[in-house]
Amino acid sequence: MTMSDFDAHFMRMALREAARAAEEGEVPLGCVVVEPAVVEPAHDGHPAVYDPNPTLARILGRGHNQTELLTDATAHAEMLALSAAFQAKGSWRLGGARLYVTKEPCPMCAGAIVLARLDAVVWGVSDPKRGGGTTFGIFGHPGINHHPEVIQGVCEGEAMSLLKDFFAERRS
């Protein structure tokens, strides 16, 4: 198994969270925060090497959009999953963890991801209008002291289908 298989495994878990959001009448976005097993720790400027076996990873948090249910503009899938991960780790620092989300994080969520020091953010569908990474450049901004690895397009077709189906149903 490779890290791309690992990423697809956890993105499918995020897609299940997104489906739960849709069932609840929320925009179908899901998120999972995962701490992979480390084979070789980061050293001398080299990144850590992770074990690509998903059964060795620890799920720190998961969430799906709940802005309507909670009447809270900040109740995005990423924010809820991050809050659960902070509790699971007992720290606001999530170095070594990877965040999987079905759609590119907005600027608010991108800022929280940077502040949490996640190693990587992995998303399915990019957001060319409001994306915190592609539109606003938050993940690579030179003024920010932490730059997570960004991986785009994982299970993109499935994530896009969930969004299109949800909005088509809402319009009809």
Write out the catalytic residue numbers. Answer: 78
The pairing of beta strand 38-40 with beta strand 49-50: antiparallel
Torsion of CA 60, 123, 72, 33, to 10 degrees: 0
8 A C-beta contact, residue 110 and residue 138: yes
What SS3 class is residue 52?
A: coil
Tell whether the torsion through CA atoms of 94, 80, 7 and 107 is positive or negative. Answer: negative
For residues 138 and 104, give the distance between their C-alpha atoms in angstroms, rounded to a whole number: 12
Sequence-separated (6 or more) residues with CB below 8 Å from residue 127: 103, 104, 106, 134, 135
The pairing of strands 120-125 and 149-152 is parallel
